[in-house]
Amino acid sequence: MSGLARLTTAAKVGLFAVVTVVAGILIYSFARKSVGGDSGYVVYALMDDAAGIARHSYVRMAGIPVGSIESIRLQGGKARIDIRINSDVPLYEDASVSKVSSSLLGEYYLAVSPGTEGKRRLQHGDRIAVVREGTSTDEIMRQVAGIAADVKKVTESLAASVGTDQGRENLKDTLENLAQVTEALNQTVRENRTSLRNIFDNIERITAEGRPELREILENVRVSTEEVRDLVARAEREGAEPGEVRQIVEKVNRASSSLESALASLDEVASRVERGEGTLGRLTKDERLIDEVEEVATSVNEFVGGVSRLQTILLLRTDYQFLASAVKSYVELRLQPREDKYYVIEVVNDPRGLTTYEQIDVSTTNPNEPPHYREVRTITTNRLRFSLQFAQSFGPFTGRFGIKESTGGVGLDILLFENRFELRQDLYGFGEVVLPRWRLSLAYEFVKRFWLLGGVDDVLSSTGRDYFVGIALRFNDEDLKTILPFAPSP
């Protein structure tokens, strides 16, 4: 029984070894076939820098693989790159090759342009004369380092002002004081409007009713002063000391004149208030002014409330695309003033680049070419794409529209299971390609703020369709909200 068990174990090990060898042979054959094998024809190009280009990597035309790199070697101080092109892809004598970055990690691939149809076709062993050198990773990193230094200066200045605990407390205290002042002003106007009107009504009534009595008082003062003057004159005739009496009379005259002037000024002030002149008169007579003060106070309250309710949600996302063997990165800022509405600002690093089409009508006197012909050029540039969209939610459904990755686009999101699952689809690229670009993705929040996602990109295209998986970090940055120069209205 033990001998049979040993024999069975040996048979299993042998069978496993045979299966492993066969699988290795099949994988090797498939890999050789996927990089082009020995089919097609070979051309070469001379480049100053071949860093980041790997042997057997794809060579693309308009983002589509059309061949592979067969060898890389040194020739005359330059890098000679032999390229095997599929036999069904023609290259002409003005064809060009360029080095294109596939990601920010220093990975590159070669992109070829076929040249002008009608000119001499390149044969096996010919050279591609036109070479466009791409921007190296070192240059990009130097530029990024310069930008980072500028950003560091800005952040240091910002940190010195509001980034400290004292700065945040001062800003918070300022906003609270502003809210309290506006509320107190609004409350004071509301509470004292009736009291101010009653006070000025009483002043007006008192001055109107007491005007005859004041005239009588002044008349009595004049009579009294005349009698005192007669008394002083009689005293002087009788030999009395007139100095003291004269001083008293002069003081009485001055007092009566001052009283008359004061009463006249009071009468004038009461008349101006009654006519609605001056600040006090406008405040008691102009109902529109009081309404404007209340509107200003309400607007300040709404401004402060909008700042406190605004949410700034930041999303950092990276996808790996299987067929293109490339990485796609996203940076998204979501400004959300309410639960059912938000605005999206997004920067995307797409390995496909940005493709545009250019149509050129040419008139020539060359006898070897038609006198008039048309060229259609496909231009793919390695540029960042930008998105700016408005989103509105209706229950679990959220609709989006605006600019998606530098083209017009729309989107529809579905949130399920307490917003832990997100089904997202985008339709964009209208006018960039024949069929619009349709992307489907499903995301799951497996840990708070961290999401796993996967899906299909360019579903409608048979050549550009790709599959991807990725990871994203999404969080609400409260500190970012304090530096925004605006706040939305509720």
Q: What is the pLDDT of residues 112-141, one digit of tens each?
A: 999 998 889 998 889 998 888 766 666 767
The mean-pLDDT minimum among 86-90, 188-192, 298-302, 355-359 falls in 298-302
Mean pLDDT of 182-201: 77
CA distance 78 to 109: 18
pLDDT of residue 35: 44
pLDDT of residue 137: 62
Per the prediction, the chain carries an average pLDDT of 78
Q: How confident is the model at residue 238 (pLDDT cuts 50, 70, 90)?
A: low
How does pLDDT run across 17-45, given as a tens digit for each residue? 788 888 777 765 655 554 444 578 999 99
Specify the higher pLDDT residue, 374 or 77.
77
Mean pLDDT of 163-172: 74
Specify the higher pLDDT residue, 400 or 463.
400
CA nearest neighbour of 413 among 431, 429, 437, 389 = 389
At residue 230, does pLDDT exceed 80?
A: no
Number of residues that this document lists for the chain: 490
Mean pLDDT of 208-223: 76
pLDDT of residue 391: 93
CA distance 188 to 193: 8
Could you tell me the pTM of the whole model?
0.37
pLDDT of residue 490: 39
Mean pLDDT of 174-199: 80
SS3 24: helix
CB 385 within 8 A of CB 350: yes
For tokens 């796609």, the residue is 328
CB 363 within 8 A of CB 372: yes
Most confident by average pLDDT, 58-62, 172-176, 294-298: 58-62
> Strand 58-61's sheet: what is its strand order?
41-47, 78-85, 64-75, 58-61, 108-113, 96-101, 130-132
As to burial, measured by CB atoms within 10 angstroms (0-12 exposed, 13-18 middle, 19+ buried), residue 95 is buried
pLDDT of residue 399: 92
Q: How confident is the model at residue 467 (pLDDT cuts 50, 70, 90)?
A: very high
* 265-to-64, 214, 252 alpha-carbon distances in Å: 93, 13, 20
Mean pLDDT of 195-224: 75
CA distance 377 to 382: 16
